[in-house]
Amino acid sequence: MKTYTPKPKGLLRASNNPVETVRIRLFFAIVLILNCLSIEAQYEPPRISFLDQLIGEEVQVIELATSLDSLLINRKKYQYQKAEMSVTFADGTRQAEELKVRPRGRFRNMYGEIPPLKIKLSNSSLRRQGYISMNELKLVLPFGSGKRQTDWLYKEYLVYKLYETLSPYSFRTQLVEVILKDTGKRKRPIRLQAFLIEDKEEVANRLALQPCKQSHLGADLSPDHYQMVQLFQFMIGNTDWLPTTSHNLALFRNSAGGVIPVPYDFDFAGLVNTNYAWPNDLLPIANVKERYFMGNYPSLESLRPVIQHFQSKKDELLQVIEAFSSLRKVDKQQMREYLLSFFDLIADDTVAERQFVHLMEGPRGNHY
């Protein structure tokens, strides 16, 4: 049977003329090259923040040079001073930045050997290197220079990682080794373990949120996210936060207008168990290892969904602790046992109801 193959009207006829054939081929080659150039011109490499680069490249060492005397003398002023930073990545490459630093925080700023720092990079330098203009980071340093203080730092870092496991609405962190070089009188560099914390503005940019300027939690609070924070703080044994003043809570507003609280600063938590921590003095507990649920709920059922979420994440949370190689086994075991006691509690409805369904004691109870 004969078949019929239609010929498109625009089909170019084959030519027996060699010159014409060369011209046709040259025409198509030029068109192809122009198309490729056009596509390449439209393509832009993905724009990331400086912190994205630090996290993605597994930072090994950060060298930070500034005047330590000026930093310590002016703790209470919270003023920026000049500094230089050099970052060494896992592959051995180095990147240098001029920036500013200042003390941050309250208790650790006043009493720590070296205060926690706020880092502010140059926006013009970031733009030249193709980074987005997210130029602020927080640097958490050990409370002191001993092994015990470094272990506290590791534990607090792990608490941040626990909340990252539970919720995408969290601060990202990056563990680093810091070499502090004094540009003043001190000549010997100080080598410390530390970790970086994502700035509030970058959290908002990454999650398509707006930083919320209100200083307390109101009627527009997202109840699911607030319950997540409440139960998390109970799990880690932390009462160093206040919804009435948003103390140690960063507030963000989503596109629907709801307010999402994100917790930070966990060195007063029972899971970290520093020797300088004490519980909220408005509460009927004697030490930070005792848990107290800072909430008012009419029934256990109102908390059931968030409890089930925590139960579904139990193995992942325990693995966060287990997989961290920098902490001693005895410390990891203590953290593991503390978490397991929480999961035992929420598995028993009678015990859970006794913990969660109460009118919080203290003069501020009605605000929780």
Span 303-327, pLDDT tens digits: 999 999 999 999 999 999 999 999 9
| pLDDT of 10 higher than 90 | no
Determine the straight-line distance between the first and last CA of the chain, rounded to whole angstroms: 85
| pLDDT of 334 higher than 60 | yes
Percent of the chain with pLDDT over 90: 69
Consecutive H or E run containing 159: helix 147-166
CA 151 to chain CA centroid, Å, is 19
Q: List CB contacts of 114: < 8 A, sequence separation 6 or more.
A: 68, 71, 72, 141, 180, 190, 192
pLDDT at 4: 38
pLDDT at 20: 56
Nearest to 99 by CA among 141, 50, 172: 50
Least-confidence region, from 125-129, 213-217, 297-301: 213-217
Higher-confidence residue of 156 and 60: namely 156
| pLDDT of 127 higher than 80 | yes
Give the residue-averaged pLDDT of 276-291: 92
Please report which residue ranges of 207-359 form alpha helices under DSSP H: 223-236, 304-312, 314-322, 329-347, 349-356
Residues 237 and 291: beta-carbon distance below 8 Å: yes
The domains of the chain are located at 50-204, 211-367
Residues 66 and 82: beta-carbon distance below 8 Å: yes
Q: Mean of the per-residue pLDDT values for the chain? A: 86
Radius of gyration over every alpha carbon of the chain, rounded to an integer in angstroms: 28
pLDDT at 126: 92
pLDDT at 207: 96
What does DSSP assign to residue 303? G
pLDDT at 360: 61
Give the residue-averaged pLDDT of 318-340: 97
Percent of the chain with pLDDT over 70: 85
